Chain A
Amino acid sequence: NAGVTQTPKFRILKIGQSMTLQCAQDMNHNYMYWYRQDPGMGLKLIYYSVGAGITDKGEVPNGYNVSRSTTEDFPLRLELAAPSQTSVYFCASSPRTEPGNTIYFGEGSWLTVV
Chain B
Amino acid sequence: AQKITQTQPGMFVQEKEAVTLDCTYDTSDPSYGLFWYKQPSSGEMIFLIYQGSYDQQNATEGRYSLNFQKARKSANLVISASQLGDSAMYFCAMREMFGNEKLTFGTGTRLTIIP
Residues of A within 8 A of B (CB): 31, 33, 35, 40-45, 48, 50, 56, 58, 88, 90, 92, 94, 97-100, 102-105, 107-108, 110
Contacts and interface: CB of A to CB of B under 8 A. Distances in A.
Nearest to A30: B101
A31 B101 contact: yes
B102 A99 contact: no
Contacts, number: 63
Interface of B: 4, 31-33, 35, 43-45, 47, 50, 52-53, 91, 95-97, 100-108
A114 B43 CA distance: 22
Contact of A48 (B44, B52, B100, B106): B100
B105 A99 contact: no
Contacts of A100: 33, 50, 52
Contacts of B103: 33, 43, 45, 92, 103
